Amino acid sequence: MARISGHFPAFPATTLLFLILVVTYLRQCSGGGHDYHDALRKSILFFEGQRSGKLPPDQRVRWRRDSALHDGATAGVDLRGGYYDAGDNVKFGFPMAFTITMLSWSIIDFGRNMGGELGNAIRAVKWGTNYLLKATAKDGIVYVQVGDPLSDHNCWERPEDMDTSRMAYRIDVNHPGSDVAGETAAALAAASIVFRSRDPAYSRLLLNRAVKVFEFADRHRGAYSSSLHSAVCPFYCDVNGYQVSFYN
């Protein structure tokens, strides 16, 4: 995948929410010379281009191939899947969880206006939550990143060809991260609403895990950029402090 210079948000979650609002408005009003439905389709398609791991048979971005099939192996866990960040090959848990939260709420509030893209949006959520479930499989531990950002930023290559470090970073009781754990809990909880009627068993799994992760975030308080400063800064430092991101 081509890498864009500079640092941009990982996924178009807020753009997607905006486009859904625009499409809703255009359905209610006449006129408009832009194809916002196509913009919405391409925004959701972007998620498939960012997929990591073993790709499914219905993958629409056909030029993307399986990648990072051993993520988590050095830590003795399975961290395959999830999404790459921007044009990088690092999987940052903080922006990924935020994206899944936003995408889930887009579906909850505006899914009826998404037409034929609703199914693709739901699959995009599940691709993310399946990874977050793996990252939170052990009580008191949340894996929040895979890949060394410095070596990755210094080596521009496709994820299928990458040979940079795939070190797994985690927060735990001795190295807290209330901000990233709280956002992960929010993503799991929001997604549980998406699947409440579509897949009740999966919905309950997401909600139960969200409760556990939130309790961990609340019980062991601290900013993850303090616990993992060299790994996450200056890329995704919590500049406001976890009190703001966690409680507001």
Q: What is the pLDDT of residues 199-237, one digit of tens each?
A: 999 999 999 999 999 999 999 999 998 999 888 888 888
For 210, counting Cβ atoms within 10 Å of its Cβ (0-12 exposed, 13-18 middle, 19+ buried), the class is buried
* Average pLDDT score over the chain: 86
The predicted pLDDT at position 2 comes to: 30
Residue 11 pLDDT more than 70?
no
Of 102, 133, 138, 146, which Cα lies nearest the Cα of 216? Answer: 138
Instruction: Please state, for a pLDDT cut of 70, what percent of the chain lies above it.
Output: 83
Contacts 24+ apart (CB under 8 A), 56-60: 58/123, 60/120
Domains and CATH numbers, the chain: 13-56+67-247 (1.50.10.10)
The predicted pLDDT at position 86 comes to: 82
The predicted pLDDT at position 24 comes to: 60
The predicted pLDDT at position 8 comes to: 36
Q: 166-202: per-residue pLDDT in tens?
A: 999 999 999 999 999 999 999 999 999 999 999 999 9
User: Which one is predicted more confidently, 230 or 61?
Assistant: 61
Residue 239 pLDDT more than 90?
no
pLDDT band of residue 7 (cuts 50, 70, 90) is very low
Of 97, 216, 215, 205, which Cα lies nearest the Cα of 145? Answer: 97
Structure tokens of 214? 């939130």
Q: 83-93: per-residue pLDDT in tens?
A: 999 888 999 99
Q: 117-167: per-residue pLDDT in tens?
A: 999 999 999 999 999 999 999 999 999 999 999 998 888 899 999 999 999
Query: Residue 131 and residue 133: Cα distance in Å, rounded?
Result: 5
**Is the bond into 12 cis (omega within 30 degrees of 0)?**
no
pLDDT band of residue 40 (cuts 50, 70, 90) is confident
Residue 104 pLDDT more than 50?
yes
